[in-house]
Structure 1
Amino acid sequence: MTGYHTRWVRPEPLVEDPERIMIREALAFGKALYDRRGVLGLSVAELAERAGMTEDEIECIEEGGTVPTIALLRHLAAALNADVRLTSGHDLGSVWFEPHAA
Structure 2
Amino acid sequence: MVSHAEWKRSRDRDAARGVAESPEKAKRREEFDLAWDLGQAIHDQRTALGLSQTELARRAGMTQPQLSKLELGGTMPTLPLLARLAQAMGCALRLELVGDTSTVTFSTITPAA
Q: Same fold (TM over 0.5)?
A: yes
What aligned pairs does 1:14-29 form with structure 2 within 5 A after superposition? Answer: 17-29=26-38
Higher relative contact order (CA 8 A, sep 6+): 1
Contact 1:25 1:68 (8 Å CA) reproduced: no
| Counterpart Cα distance in 1 of 2:32 and 2:54 | 25
| Counterpart Cα distance in 2 of 1:31 and 1:79 | 17
Correspondence for 2:82: 73
Correspondence for 1:42: 51
What residue ranges of structure 1 are gaps of 5+ in the alignment?
1-13
What aligned pairs does 1:1-102 form with structure 2 within 5 A after superposition? Answer: 17-89=26-98, 94-102=103-111
CA RMSD of aligned residues (A): 2.0
What residue ranges of structure 2 are gaps of 5+ in the alignment?
1-21
SS at match of 2:97: coil
| Counterpart Cα distance in 2 of 1:96 and 1:60 | 19
**Following TM superposition, by how much is the alpha carbon of 1:15 offset from its aligned partner in structure 2, in angstroms?**
5.4
Q: As a proportion of its length, which structure holds more strand?
A: 2
Identity among equivalent pairs (%): 39
**Following TM superposition, by how much is the alpha carbon of 1:41 offset from its aligned partner in structure 2, in angstroms?**
0.2
**Following TM superposition, by how much is the alpha carbon of 1:26 offset from its aligned partner in structure 2, in angstroms?**
0.5
| Counterpart Cα distance in 2 of 1:52 and 1:68 | 14
| Counterpart Cα distance in 1 of 2:31 and 2:97 | 14
What's the TM-score, normalizing by structure 1?
Answer: 0.76
Q: As a proportion of its length, which structure holds more helix?
A: 2
Give the counterpart letter for 2:50 in structure 1.
Answer: G
